[in-house]
Structure 1
Amino acid sequence: MLPLLLAACAGACSKSGSDDGVATVDGTSRPSATATGSLQEQAIAYTRCMREHGVPLGDPEVSASSIRMGPVDKAAVGNDKLVAAEAACAPLLPQLPPAEAAAKVEKSREFSRCMRAHGFPDFPDPDADGRAVVPDPIRQSPRYEETKRLCDDQVRSFTPSPAASR
C-alpha cells in the first residue's frame, strides 16, 4: 500500500470536549461525519484513527478515482478492539463524491455478474456501497483467484463509449 503521511491530519481522530468537530487549541479534534479534504487526506485520517485505537491498519492506496484501505491482520487484533476502533473511526471513513460512488457501485455489480458468468453462480451482489461479502466456500475455490483476476481486468477495462449514454 502506498505510504501516505500528511502532518495536516494529525489528531484527526482524537476527541475533544466540544461537539463542533473543530480542532481545539490543544491539537485535538472530534471526528466529523462530513467528508472533508481529498480522498488521500480522508484515508490518512481514518488510518491514523484506527492506529490510535490499537489497530495496525496498513497504509491506504489512493488514486485519482479510487481508494483501497490498507490491510489489517485481523487474527493479530482482537475482535473487540477491531469493532471498537471501527466504531470510533467510522465518521472518518473516506467517502467518494456521489458520482464516483455510483460508478464504483456499478463496477462492483459488473464484477459480480462477471464472477457468476465464469463459474460462481452464487457470487453475491454488492450492497449499496459497492461491497460484497464473499462466502468462504467461494473464496476457497481453487479457481477463485484466477477468476477474480479475470473479472478485475474485465471490469477495469470496461469503459462505455460516449454513444452508450445517449
Structure 2
Amino acid sequence: MSTRRWYGGRLLIGAASVVALTVTGCGGGGNSGDDFASASNGKTDATTSKGSSSELADYVEGQRKWVKCLRDEGFDTSDPDSKGRVDLGDKSAWKRDPKALKAQEKCASLSLPIPESLLKEQLPELSKDEIGKNRRYARCMQEHGAPDFPDTGADGHFQESAWDATSAGAKRAARVCAPIIGIPDDAPTPKG
C-alpha cells in the first residue's frame, strides 16, 4: 500500500511530503519525486530478502535504462545509486527546462514506480526531534477527530494503516495539527 493510498486527502499527502522533504532535504528520485512512502513490515526471512534483492536489481536496471534515455534526449543526469535513486539536481529546472520536458515525454514509459518491498529501505533515518514531531502529529490527529490515524513505528515513520481522511473529524484534525509538521493554519483542506 503506498503513502498516497493510505493518506487519502491532498492536505495529508502534502503534510507527509512536507515532513519528508524537511527531513530529507529533497532527495532525488527518478519517479516524479516519490522516493519515500510506506513500510514493508520489516520481514527479513530468506525468501523476502531474496525477492527484495531481485526486485532491487530489476528496479536499479530499469532506472539505468531510464537515465540512458534521458541522456540520449540531451538531459544530463547522474547514474542511479545502489537503491535506484536518481539525483535530478534542481527540481524547478527539471520542470521548466525544454530539454528536460522533452526527455520526460520521451522516456516516461521507462520510469518505474518504486517497488513496494523497497519503499521502507528508501525511507530516511529520522532524528529524535523528527521522531518526536511525527509522534506528536499522530497523537494530535487521533485526539482531534481522526482516531484511526496511524501511529508511528519505533523508527518514527507512520505505520501503514487505512484511515478515513475525508471525514469531518479528520479534516478538523488536519487543520488543528498541521502546524506541528510545518503546514500553515490557513493551508487548503481536502474537499470531500
Question: Which structure is higher in RCO with an 8 Å CA cutoff and minimum separation 6?
Answer: 2
TM-score scaled to structure 1, two decimals?
A: 0.38
Larger helix percent: 2
TM-score scaled to structure 2, two decimals?
A: 0.34
